């Protein structure tokens, strides 16, 4: 059972890293700036957490809290935010400006 839990833990975190990597790749290609590849450093805590989980808990996750999900959100939210910023500024500039009565 420990081997199965370890394999599941590795696959889950690998998928989290893959989705986050696709997000960083999308930001890099959209902005045409290779400095956004530094966002991949946000994957390091997820990898460290995976190693700690595999060594200390034999691949079984925590009962009430999921650090991998928190670390996945920390790694993917900046990419989504950067991709959405131009859309938010477009929406603000499209709104008509009301003239003041005073």
- Nearest 5°: the CA angle 71, 75, 79 is 155
- Mean pLDDT, residues 15-35 taken together: 94
12: nearest Cα among 46, 44, 63: 46
The answer to whether residue 87 scores a pLDDT higher than 70 is: yes
Measured from the Cβ of residue 80, the count of other Cβ atoms closer than 10 Å reads 13
Q: How far is residue 17's CA from residue 47's CA, in Å, rounded to a whole number?
A: 9
- Average pLDDT of 27-41? 93
Q: How far apart are CA 72 and CA 47, in angstroms?
A: 10
pTM: 0.77
Model confidence over 10-23: pLDDT tens digits?
899 999 999 999 99
Average pLDDT of the chain is: 85
Report the pLDDT averaged over residues 37-58.
Answer: 88
The whole-angstrom separation of Cα 67 and Cα 41 is 17
25: confidence class by pLDDT, cuts 50, 70, 90: very high
């Amino acid at each position: 059972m420990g081997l199965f839990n370890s394999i599941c833990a590795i696959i889950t975190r690998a998928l989290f890293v893959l989705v986050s990597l696709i997000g960083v790749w999308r930001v890099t290609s959209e902005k045409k700036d290779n400095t956004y590849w530094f966002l991949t450093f946000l994957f390091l805590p997820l990898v460290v957490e995976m190693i700690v989980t595999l060594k200390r808990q034999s691949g079984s996750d925590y009962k009430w809290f999921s650090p991998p999900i928190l670390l996945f959100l920390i790694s993917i939210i900046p990419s989504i935010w950067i991709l959405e910023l131009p859309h938010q500024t477009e929406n603000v500039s499209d709104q008509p400006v009301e003239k003041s009565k005073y």
